Copies of this chain bind each other. A is one copy, B any other.
Amino acid sequence: MSNANEHLDKILLELRRGTISIGVLSQLYEPQYGYSLVTMLSEKGIHVEPGTLYPLLRRFEKQGLLVSKWDTNEARPRKYYLLSETGKEVFDLLVVEWRSIVASLNHLIENKGDDVDGDG
């Protein structure tokens, strides 16, 4: 008990979840394949499990946010994903909303509980 970290991990899990989509989409202005995304995002501080990423990529493709094509010229066949036009629109809007969320959250965090209101 008193293991604050356990609860932390759970909340963080939830917190990171939503950020995966935006992280993945951000990297697909140029074609990438799943495996490269996993390692690349990991290097940049976004840890994504393969078992999370692959279904995500497929879902996004199904939704029309991504397009894919197999490259069988290389040693091993790789499935490259790329943002569609719709995907770019979605990503742009997503970024706008993301910034708004970050702003709201930061505001809350900075005046944590301090009940500041100008109308006194």
- Which A residues lie at the B interface, using CB under 8 A? 1-2, 4-5, 7-8, 11-12, 14-19, 21-23, 26-30, 41, 44-46, 63-65, 86, 89-91, 93-95, 97-98, 100-105, 107-109, 112-115
Contacts and interface: CB of A to CB of B under 8 A. Distances in A.
A90 to B, nearest CB: 5
A107 B27 CA distance: 11
DSSP majority for the A interface?
helix
Given A12-B97, A26-B109, A41-B108, 20 more contacts: A2-B86, A4-B86, A4-B90, A7-B64, A7-B65, A7-B90, A8-B90, A8-B94, A11-B90, A15-B97, A17-B17, A18-B18, A22-B105, A23-B108, A26-B113, A29-B113, A44-B108, A45-B103, A45-B104, A102-B102
